[in-house]
Structure 1
Amino acid sequence: MQLKGQAALVTGGGSGLGAQTARQLAALGARVAVLDINAEAAQAVAAEIGGLGVACDITDSDSVIAALDAAAAAHGAARVLMNVAGIGGAKRVIGRDGEPMPLADFRRVIDVNLTGTFNVIRLAAARMARLEALDDGERGVIVNTASVAAYDGQVGQEAYAASKGGLVSLTLPLARDLAQHGVRVCTIAPGLFLTPLLYALPQEVQDSLAASIPFPKRLGKPEEFAQLAAHIVANPSLNGEVIRLDGALRLPPR
């Protein structure tokens, strides 16, 4: 699918990988709706790229429906969905005080990263399925964001790894399920990228993390994530696949 002229949705588009993805899609001619729980951040990125900024809590169906309606009113029906919204969090199963991890902490990460992502997919895909097919029979493309933690999660990453592992496992059945509607699904599993979270770390910590990456021996650039996301849309044979984008990084236990 060519991005030029297409309406696109980017969740988590107010910062980091999501913001750069929104910029990349806009640069390629897409009409981009930036969805983020932080309305001001979404609107700031949207103003920069000439798009639409919309407040959206991906865990709340009414919020997602309202965001999709606003995006459709401004840009028309979306054929592209980039699911980049997510949260982190690290906590050991048994804390230093000997107490178990609060179940609410585990549920929160699963609710946002896995259930929230699926919530947007189900609502957006139903709309895509009603669109007229393009020349090649395609109606839409969905790109999700997992993590290398899905494969080699570290100590304390049980909730995060489980949520991202769920997205990895979800990819193929989603692609098979939506194939009848002409909607493709792929997932990117990024490694260590220079996002606002890592920018906040001391330079020596950033350098140490970069040194653990075989090649290129540096933190990933958000532009590289965005370029891959855009390429997935453009390449019709990419479907049902999870792509690691990590410079051959394999995370140690801690």
Structure 2
Amino acid sequence: MSMDLELQDLRVLITAGTKGIGQATVELFRQLGARVITTARVRPESLPEESFVAADLATLDGCTAVVDAVKRRLGGVDVIVHVLGGSSAPAGGFAALDESEWHKELSLNLFPAVRLDRALLPGMIAQGSGVIIHVTSIQHQLPLPESTTAYAAAKAALSTYSKSLSKEVTPKGVRVVRVSPGWVETEAAVALAERLAEQTGTDYEGGKQIIMKSLGGIPLGRPSRPVEVANLIAFLASPRAAAITGTEYVIDGGTIPTA
């Protein structure tokens, strides 16, 4: 990105920073001069220990470990980017979602953001500045009943929580924004397309077409790339977006058919 986003030396926490959107966001913020800590359950060798916290954010203990590390290593935080999310729920519609599956979806897609915000927001409010970005999903508007009901519901809860939080803390100097990706060509998405291709006797491009068709089509003709989502996140986190708060930015290649 050629525009100076003025992110130099900002203290940034990015969750789920070892793959996909999270990894692209970590790399971009570092290129732009930010001081970044990221998290996942296992540290890849490419990330230095001082900028990584191994933690399971689906647990209260994992969130506590990350908060402690942020305060100890950075002395606080200026930007939080909540990328963590995903689904392990089985296909089969609502009947396949027992109590355990619902809890897993909420524990991964909602509670980590709530817990980390609750612990780190007081410091942002005290300094009179900060940005929180919640990565939601177009699934909360376009759920797929066969397989994403619980995930979509959890992301809808995250979006509503984010909007409410923005109304409360924006007057105190903290902006809260949502980024809502559609289908993104992450490692997991590639694996899914390859699996569908094998099952249907087609190639990778054919597998991608199957996924796009299931979404009702993507006018752009392809999924978004992780770095494209990271570019949007970096802009929204920057002083260039100082008047933007409380809104949700969709990046889906035109998948959602309404304005």
Q: What is the TM-score with the length of structure 1 in the denominator? A: 0.85
Deviations 1:63-110 (A, max 9, x none): 323222223333332110000011213431125xxxxx3211011101
The answer for unaligned runs of 5 or more in structure 1 is: 96-100, 134-138
Indicate how the Cα distance of structure 1 residues 62 and 89 shifts in structure 2: closer, same or farther if over 3 A, else same.
closer
**CA–CA distance in 2 between the matches of 1:45 and 1:110?**
30
Matched, 1:61 2:60: yes
Q: Please tell me the residue identity of whatever aligns with 1:232.
A: L
Give the 3-state SS of the residue equivalent to 2:224 in structure 1: coil
Aligned to 1:162: 153
Equivalent residue, structure 2, for 1:39: 42
1:18 alignment partner in structure 2: 22
The residue identity in structure 2 corresponding to 1:164 is K
C-alpha distance 207-51 of structure 1, shift in aligned 2 (>3 A): farther
**TM-score normalised by structure 2 residue count:** 0.84
State the Cα distance separating 1:175 from its structure 2 match. 0.6
1:214 aligns with 2:204: no
Kept in 1: contact 2:182–2:250 (CA 8 A):
yes
Q: Which moved more, 1:167-176 or 1:203-212?
A: 203-212
Tell me, yes or no, if structure 1 residue 199 matches structure 2 residue 199: no
Q: How does 1:1-254 map to 2 (within 5 A)?
A: 2-36=6-40, 38-41=41-44, 44-47=45-48, 52-90=51-89, 91=91, 92-95=93-96, 101-131=97-127, 133=128, 139-155=129-145, 156-201=147-192, 202=194, 203=204, 204-210=206-212, 212-215=217-220, 217-234=221-238, 235-250=241-256
Partners of 2:116 and 2:34 in 1: how far apart? 19
1-structure distance, mates of 2:25, 2:118: 21
Query: Residue 110 of structure 2: SS of its match in structure 1?
Result: helix
- Work out the percentage of aligned pairs sharing the same amino acid: 25
Contact 1:10–1:22 at 8 Å: present in 2 too? Answer: yes
Instruction: Pick which of 115-124 and 219-228 moved more.
Output: 115-124
2:199 is aligned to none
SS in 1 for 2:24: helix
Q: How large is the Cα RMSD of the aligned pairs?
A: 2.0
The answer to whether the 8 Å contact 1:2/1:233 transfers is no
8 A contact 1:89–1:157 mirrored in 2: no
Paired residue secondary structure (1:39): coil
- What displacement does 1:177 show? 1.0
Whole-angstrom distance in 2 between the partners of 1:145 and 1:222: 12
Structure 2: any 5+ residue segments left out of the alignment?
A: 195-203
